[in-house]
A and B are shown apart, each in its own frame.
Chain A
Amino acid sequence: MTAILELDGLEVRYGAVPAVRKLSFQVGKGEIVGLIGPNGAGKSTTLHAILGLVPAHAGEIRFEGRSIRGRSPEAVVRSGIALVPEGRRIYAHLTVEENLRLGLAGRRSRDLESLERDFEWVYELFPIVQEFARRHAGTLSGGQQQQLAIARALVARPDVLLLDEPSLGLAPQLVDVVFQALAAIRERGVTVLLVEQRAQRTVAFADRTYVLSNGELSTTLGPGDAGDTDRLIAAYFGR
Chain B
Amino acid sequence: MIASVARRIAQAAAIVFLVATATFVLLQLAPGDPFSPQEESSRVPPSVIEQHRRNFGLDQPIHVQYWRYLSNLVRGDFGYSFSLNRPALDVIREVIPNTLILALAALVVDFSIGIAIGTVQGARPHSRVDDTLTVVTVILFSIPVFWFGLMLIMVFAGQLHWLPAGGAVSPAAYSALPFFGKIADRLTHLILPAITLGLISAAGTARYHRGAMLDTITQDFIRTARAKGLSERAVMLRHALRHAILPAVTLFGLSLPVLLSGAVLVEAVFGWNGMGRLSVDSIFRRDYHVVTGAAILAAVMVVAGNLLADILYRVVDPRTRVEGAS
A and B bound? no
Residues of B near any A CB (own CB < 8 A): none
Residues of A near any B CB (own CB < 8 A): none
